[in-house]
Structure 1
Amino acid sequence: MKILIADDHDLLRDTLVAFIESSAEMTSVAASDLDGALAALEGPDRFDLVLLDYNMPGMCGLDGLKRVLAHPAAPRVALISGEAPRDVVHRAMAAGAAGFVPKTLAAKSLINAIRFMAAGEQFVPAELLTEEPETQQQHPIAQKLTKREMQVLEGLAEGKANKEIARDLDLSEPTIKLHVKNLYRKIGAANRTQAALIAREADLF
């Protein structure tokens, strides 16, 4: 089974490649943008699945997904992303995507999701098919954050290091660092201490 991974974040792309190639029956080819993914499809390799980063250069929202789906050599195509609104996930599936894979997915779950999609099924985490709890939606800060970012913020509020949060959530440290960076931007925090204070003042946990 051969997988094409297109992601502009070097560390996460290399991590995804490592996850996939840890499985004996899978190999991968990597690209850093949409043009690279399309060029790979023009080459001699024949892929069972393409994983496209929703936010990488050239994607322009779901236009990049549609371009790859329209390619004569395209196999099944799925989106990967650190964050994506539910409506984007639903529209991607309606457009013909094989699934949506959060970058926060644990390695074993990622491999299983890839197998599932390559076999002709669709994969979307259950949490993206249901609404967030109403109490969480009501708070302005909670509205800005994904469920996983809220879990990471809770860890920061408890004074935990990235390594501890990664262990608690069964994720890698680079993934936690990405979540921390994203939630800083969303809530206007400059560092983990300020993020923790914001969470406490908002009485989120």
Structure 2
Amino acid sequence: MTVPVRPEGPIRVMAVDDHSLLRNALCELLNAEDDLEVVAQTDVSAQILELAVEHRVDVVLLDVEMPDHHAPTVVEELSSALPDLCVLILSMHDDPQLVQELMRRGARGYLHKTAHRETLLAAIRAIRGGDSHTIIAIPQSESRRSAFAPVPTGLSPREREVLTLVANALSNRQIAHRLGVAEGTVKRHLRNIFDKLGAVSRVDAVNKALDAHLIVRRPHLAEG
């Protein structure tokens, strides 16, 4: 499928959800960000691909509970037709089998609808920025957490500094510039952080570090 050339500018987002109040609130939240723009929204599954092409969408926020579609099939169709399109799932479910199926079909991330605003924004920026790690943020009960999640170990001062900048949605290049180090050094710190926290993505690492009080959430830091 031929897709119109995307102009440079804000990340172009489409919101897909059959609950109009939630969808409108989501669009309002995203449009308040300088680097994000909601260019399309729909509650009809059959319109998703057409709108994605027409509006040169970068990221689709897809609700899996819509009654007129099978989410894994929709994800596979979008990924096949538009390989550069990033699909981020928003769901009230945390079924591991569903998560794995959607990831296998081509979704770039899976967020529970109770995720913090900062988590959603960071996830959108990360997947559009080329983060190769799958982004998953779902709540866990204490029993599941203790059974399956490793207990975070301490981070070095530099690792905390790097992860704090990640929490503020800075890219590896921006972090390297701010800290005066090579981008490869930042990537090495992130690999160590992921290993220590048992994290599968930047967003997952931030969430686990916040839960363990290893870093403190700070206001967004502008690049300078």
Q: Same fold (TM over 0.5)?
A: yes
Contact 2:115 2:138 in 1 (8 A): no
TM-superposed CA distance for 1:56, in Å, is 1.0
Inter-partner Cα distance in structure 1 for 2:104 and 2:135: 13
- Report SS of the residue matched to 1:91: helix
Equivalences for 1:100-119 in 2 at 5 Å? 100-119=110-129
Is 1:32–2:37 an aligned residue pair? Answer: no
- After superposition, the Cα gap between the structure-2 partners of 1:37 and 1:74, relative to the gap in structure 1 and judged at 3 Å, is farther
Q: Tell me the residue number matched to 1:66.
A: 76
Contact 2:94 2:138 in 1 (8 A): no
Gaps of 5+ in 1: 136-205
Q: Tell me the residue number matched to 2:136.
A: 124
Identity of aligned residues (%): 23
Contact 2:94 2:139 in 1 (8 A): no
- After superposition, the Cα gap between the structure-2 partners of 1:124 and 1:133, relative to the gap in structure 1 and judged at 3 Å, is closer
- Report SS of the residue matched to 1:62: helix
Inter-partner Cα distance in structure 2 for 1:36 and 1:12: 19
* More helix by percentage: 1
Inter-partner Cα distance in structure 1 for 2:105 and 2:19: 25
Inter-partner Cα distance in structure 2 for 1:118 and 1:131: 34
- Report SS of the residue matched to 1:46: coil
- Report SS of the residue matched to 2:52: helix
TM-superposed CA distance for 1:63, in Å, is 1.2
Q: Tell me the residue number matched to 1:17.
A: 27
Q: Which amino acid aligns with 1:120?
A: G
**Mean alpha-carbon deviation: is it higher for 58-67 or for 109-118?**
58-67
Structure 1 stretches of at least 4 aligned residues deviating more than 3 Å after TM superposition = none
TM-superposed CA distance for 1:134, in Å, is 7.2
Encode CA deviations 1:12-49: one digit per residue, 9 max, x unaligned.
Answer: 11111111111111101211121121220231x21211
- After superposition, the Cα gap between the structure-2 partners of 1:19 and 1:76, relative to the gap in structure 1 and judged at 3 Å, is same
Is 1:3–2:13 an aligned residue pair? Answer: yes
Q: Tell me the residue number matched to 1:166.
A: none
Aligned mate of 1:46, from 56, 62, 65: 56
Contact 1:6 1:36 in 2 (8 A): no
- Report SS of the residue matched to 2:81: coil
TM-superposed CA distance for 1:131, in Å, is 7.2
Q: Tell me the residue number matched to 1:86.
A: 96
TM-score (norm 1): 0.58
Q: Tell me the residue number matched to 1:191.
A: none
TM-score (norm 2): 0.53
TM-superposed CA distance for 1:74, in Å, is 5.8
Q: Tell me the residue number matched to 1:96.
A: 106
Gaps of 5+ in 2: 1-10, 148-224
Q: Which amino acid aligns with 2:99?
A: V
- After superposition, the Cα gap between the structure-2 partners of 1:108 and 1:133, relative to the gap in structure 1 and judged at 3 Å, is closer
- Report SS of the residue matched to 1:79: strand
Inter-partner Cα distance in structure 2 for 1:127 and 1:104: 8
Root-mean-square deviation (CA, aligned residues, Å) is 2.4
Inter-partner Cα distance in structure 2 for 1:131 and 1:86: 15
- Report SS of the residue matched to 2:136: coil
